[in-house]
Amino acid sequence: MKAYHSKEKGIGIVYDNMYLINGARTPFGKLVGSLANISPTDLGILACRSSLEKSKVNPKDIDQTIIANIGQSSTDAYFLPRHISLYSGVREEVPALMVQRICGSGFETIITGVEQIALEKADVTLCCGTENMSLSPTVSYGNRMGYQLGNPNFKDMLWESLNDTAAGYPMGCTAENVAKKHNITRQEADKFGKLSSDRTLAAIESGFFEDEIIPINSTVLDAEGLKPRKVKLPKNVNDFKTDENVRSTTLESLAKLPAVFDKEGVQTAGNSSGIVDGAASVVVSNKEYISKNKLLPLTKIVASASCGIDPKVMGLGPVKAINLLLEITELKISDIGLIEINEAFAAQFIGCEKELGFDRNIANVNGGAIAIGHPLGATGVRLSLTISREMNKRKTKYGIASACIGGGQGTAILFENTNI
């Protein structure tokens, strides 16, 4: 293991013999859709149970559980990591931890899980990101102290999660700043929005996501010695197994949508990431555990990097993170066969594409968050699982998954396919 830190460039680490065994995720439900009333805890339990099953890992073997959840949207949010761990069958003696790097938090569960193994504090870790954005509350901070007559103060926490008060404007405005910096047109943004939709629909049609997504039904989640938890979908929903935000579109219909963040801007509801609910989980371990249990991991986790950038152009975070990742691994962008960059906004992705110089044909090949959606805490896990599976399908040696992060950060992970 070789670590790196620089006040100018960020932090990074190259790992020794760390692996992503396998994983699973829930389908992502659209805002106020089929998953709207399922708590992020329950979504996480469903994803983790299936992840362990797909990985062929006994829950009792897990040494640590690492969970990400950004918007606290259930009354048991304080207990969320612990509850997910216990209801997933992990031993009660095993500790659970929550990590938070906003849109990069899913990646951070993997990074933290791997680093705990590198520190010899674990052999195998359960990693999960979960989010229910539909349940994001309206809150009144300070109401315990009272308020002026006729002047109660309530905030919409979903909106607040998308609004960086330090930068002085919502996340979408940072994408407009990237568009201005790189002269990205509305037509370019809409063209990419359509590409995301087309690729996602093609992936669904081909059955690519069937091995990744677990069907969800109304059920009861039991665990020995614990109170049963009820998962209840709408009455007309059974075997919910397809990402609900995905829809077919045309350039003509996209062109009719109004700009959301700037009257003359490029970002619309049709070329920005969907607000969705869902969870994703993977299991990571060292080589010794894999060899002992005769497991076949999807990918080797080679290195990771995180950095900070100007909040006003936060969407370019993957550029700095990926460049640092390439530097510490002594690779070039041309060595990378597949790339996943979270599609927070079309202009943000295009800006990263222009600065990094990769071929769009190897990036987000099964679509992305514009179509599928971006459940904040789950996205990094979803991207890591998706790219690992696609690398095996294509027999690609190296792949990078990355995301921009609200407030001006970026995170990236380098994966290697050792099955070729």
Tens of pLDDT, residue by residue over 87-136, are 999 999 999 999 999 999 999 999 999 999 999 999 999 999 999 999 99
State phi, psi for 270 to the nearest 5 degrees.
-85, -15
Q: CB 73: neighbour CB atoms within 10 A? A: 22
pLDDT value for 167: 82
Tens of pLDDT, residues 355-393: 999 999 999 999 999 999 999 999 999 999 999 999 999
Q: For strands 29-30 and 276-286, give the pairing.
A: antiparallel
Which residues are CB-contacts of 227 (< 8 A; sequence separation ≥ 6)?
A: none
Structure tokens at 53: 């099953």
**What is the rounded radius of gyration, in angstroms, for the C-alpha atoms of the chain?**
20
Structure tokens at 369: 């968050």
CA distance 196 to 176: 19
pLDDT value for 97: 98
pLDDT category of residue 242 using cuts at 50, 70 and 90: very high
Tens of pLDDT, residues 403-417: 999 999 999 999 999
Structure tokens at 108: 């951070």
Length of the chain (residues) = 420
Q: For strands 29-30 and 96-99, give the pairing.
A: unpaired
Region 64-88: what's the mean pLDDT?
97
Which residues are CB-contacts of 36 (< 8 A; sequence separation ≥ 6)?
A: 29, 132, 134, 135, 277
Region 135-150: what's the mean pLDDT?
91
Tens of pLDDT, residues 163-216: 998 888 899 999 999 999 999 999 999 999 999 999 999 999 999 999 999 999
**241-to-25, 30, 88, 97 alpha-carbon distances in Å:** 10, 13, 20, 28
Region 75-87: what's the mean pLDDT?
97
The rounded percent of the chain whose pLDDT value lies above 70 is: 100
Residue 339 has pLDDT above 90, yes or no: yes
Residue 151 has pLDDT above 90, yes or no: no
Residue 4 pairs in a beta bridge with: 12
pLDDT category of residue 150 using cuts at 50, 70 and 90: confident
pLDDT value for 268: 98
pLDDT value for 169: 83
DSSP string, 313-382: GGGGHHHHHHHHHHHHHT--GGG-SEEEE--SBHHHHHHHHHHH---GGGBSTT--HHHH---TTTHHHH
- Nearest of 314, 382, 387, 305 to residue 352 by alpha carbon: 314
Active site residues: 103, 404
Beta strand residue intervals within 133-179, DSSP E: 138-139, 155-156, 163-164, 169-170
